[in-house]
Amino acid sequence: MALTLDINGKTTKVNAAPDTPLLWVLRDEVGLTGPKFGCGIAQCGACTVLADGTPVRSCSLPISALEGVKITTVESLGGDHPLQAAWVKHDVPQCGYCQSGQLMSAVALLTINPHPTDDDIDAAMDGNICRCGTYQRVRAAIKDVASSASKA
């Protein structure tokens, strides 16, 4: 079945069954490998993308639910997003597997709340599991970007 999706601002036609999880369409059909397969049950966050600005787990979200929805993946950040620079500055990535999901959740948080508290950050990042345990570095990077935004 052909379906049209808006992925990173581009209209993309995909041929997949309506119940196909978005993750597999992104990776296998569209070639966007930033979102990772982690658990397959929407619990780890490695596959997180944004759907109309809201973090969603693409491993369990059927493409049939996404017509007319703006899907944003980590590839849209282009390598020069302030969060990516903060990630490097604070040595956030260790193995790196969870990072695209972590970044997309952080982008969503700072879009709706440019000056989050620690509790706000914890709530927004909850469910993004980091096997390397870099949670404090993630928080520091987010706070760094929030601080920079308040100075601008």
User: Which pLDDT does position 152 carry in this prediction?
Assistant: 57
CA angle 27, 112, 75 (to 5 degrees): 20
Provide the token pair at 52.
Answer: 């109309």
**pTM summary value:** 0.95
Does an H or E element contain 136, and which?
Answer: helix 135-151
* pLDDT average, residue stretch 89-96: 93
What are the boundaries of each domain within the chain? 2-75, 77-151
Q: How far apart are CA 121 and CA 21, in angstroms?
A: 28
CATH H-level superfamily of 77-151: [2Fe-2S]-binding domain (1.10.150.120)
CA 31 vs CA 23, 26, 35, 107, 144: distances in Å: 10, 6, 11, 22, 32
**Which CATH number fits the domain 2-75, given the four candidates 3.50.30.10, 3.90.380.10, 3.10.20.30, 3.30.2310.20?**
3.10.20.30
Percent over 70 (pLDDT), the chain:
98
